[in-house]
Amino acid sequence: MFNIPATVKFNGTLTLGAGALTPPIGMAMWLKADSLGMGDGDTITTWPDQSGNGFDVFQSTADNRPIFKLGIRNGLPVVRFDGVDDLLANDAVLNPFPDPASWTIAVAYSTADTTGGRRVVGCNANTLVGPYSGKYQVYDGGFTDGPNVVPGDWVVQIGVHTNGSGASQFLNGELAGSPTAGTQHTGDGIGIGAAFATGEFCTCDVGDVLIYPSALNTANRQALEDYLGAKYSITITH
């Protein structure tokens, strides 16, 4: 098992500069579209992890690579997945946190998908965050049954799973759907744009993906929402 380095610990929030927002520290994985520095329409072979833990995701098959698009949301670039066969994954022993575990998965994205099983983040053990059967969903062995997807809307979607207690979903800062009683964990394998091994491809523009090896408390989850909301001009309600 490829586990988190012992030096990675969650211990609060950081603020840099004159009021600049940053996410809570201690993430296991942080994928940022604005870190790629590519040309508009370039295909993406590797999306480097910015957390310092080395959990890059990649695609070796040229036809299955998403593309980089400039100036899509709030002047920022995105990674665009076609919903057909695009997938970035880490197919080594790629778990960014131990299993079983508590976790937090946060994504800033938009989607056109209103039907079918779709995943922005999908793990081998069937954990998912994304639009599923027309609703914003988090799944950890049980669905949160969130609100209907609004095609083209940018959202900050966060799943917080507490080991042994299930998961809750937050959409743009608000509790969205019923907390699960699920006990499923991430297992090995993380896919962005689809499930790691089972498909369910998502038509989506993705800005940031952050994964934490803990269930963020309210203050730190809200700090994360504020960071992503400000970055992508998404209204957050606490």
Give the lowest-confidence range in 58-72, 148-162, 192-206, 219-233: 192-206
Cβ burial of 112 (10 Å; 0-12, 13-18, 19+) is middle
Quick check: helix, strand or coil at residue 160? strand
Highest-scoring range by mean pLDDT, 62-71, 94-103, 114-123:
62-71
HSE toward the beta carbon, residue 91, CA cutoff 13 A: 12
pLDDT in tens, 131-143: 999 999 998 888 8
Between residues 17 and 200, which one has the greater pLDDT? Answer: 200
pLDDT digits (tens, 9 = 90+) for 147-201: 999 999 999 999 998 877 888 999 999 999 877 777 665 556 789 999 877 789 9
15 within domain boundaries = no
Q: Which two tokens stand for residue 73?
A: 């949301």
pTM exceeds 0.85, yes or no: yes
In a domain, 238, yes or no: no
46: closest CA among 14, 99, 5, 88?
A: 88
Say if 3 falls within a structural domain. Answer: no
Domains contained in the chain, number: 1
How confident is the model at residue 237, as a pLDDT? 97
Sign of CA dihedral 18, 233, 56, 59: negative
CA-to-CA distance for 54 and 229, rounded, in angstroms? 26
Are residues 78 and 29 in contact, defined by beta-carbon separation less than 8 angstroms?
no
**pLDDT value at residue 196:** 77
**Domain membership of residue 173 as a residue range:** 25-232
Which distant-in-sequence residues (6+ apart) come within 8 Å of 150 by Cβ? none
**4 in any annotated domain:** no
pLDDT at 128: 87
Q: What is the CATH number of the domain that holds 173?
A: 2.60.120.200
Per-residue pLDDT at 11 exceeds 50: no
In this prediction, residue 125 carries a pLDDT of: 63
Which of 57-61, 110-114, 179-183, 228-232 has the lowest average pLDDT? Answer: 179-183
Q: Which residue type is seen at 99? A: D
pLDDT at 99: 56
Decide if 2 is inside a domain: no
How much is the pLDDT for 103? 86
**Which of the pair, 59 or 92, is modelled with greater confidence?**
59
The pLDDT of residue 17 is 32
Among residues 68, 64, 116, 59, which one has the least CA distance to residue 86? 64
* Structural domain contains residue 65: yes
Statement: residue 109 has pLDDT above 90: yes
Evaluate whether residue 1 is within a structural domain.
no
Instruction: Report the range of poorest mean pLDDT among 39-43, 93-97, 183-187.
Output: 93-97
Residue 20, domain member (yes or no): no
Q: Does residue 86 register a pLDDT over 90?
A: yes
Confidence of residue 19 (pLDDT cuts 50, 70, 90): very low
Q: How far is CA 120 from CA 88, 144, 164, in A?
A: 10, 16, 24
With a cut of 50, say whether residue 14 has pLDDT above it: no
Which residues of the chain form beta strands (DSSP E)? 15-16, 20-21, 29-32, 46-47, 57-58, 67-73, 76-82, 88-90, 103-111, 121-123, 128-132, 135-139, 154-162, 166-171, 174-175, 190-192, 203-212
Report the pLDDT value the prediction gives residue 162, as an integer from 0 to 100.
85
Say if residue 4's pLDDT is above 90: no
The C-alpha atoms of residue 20 and residue 31 are separated, in whole angstroms, by: 19
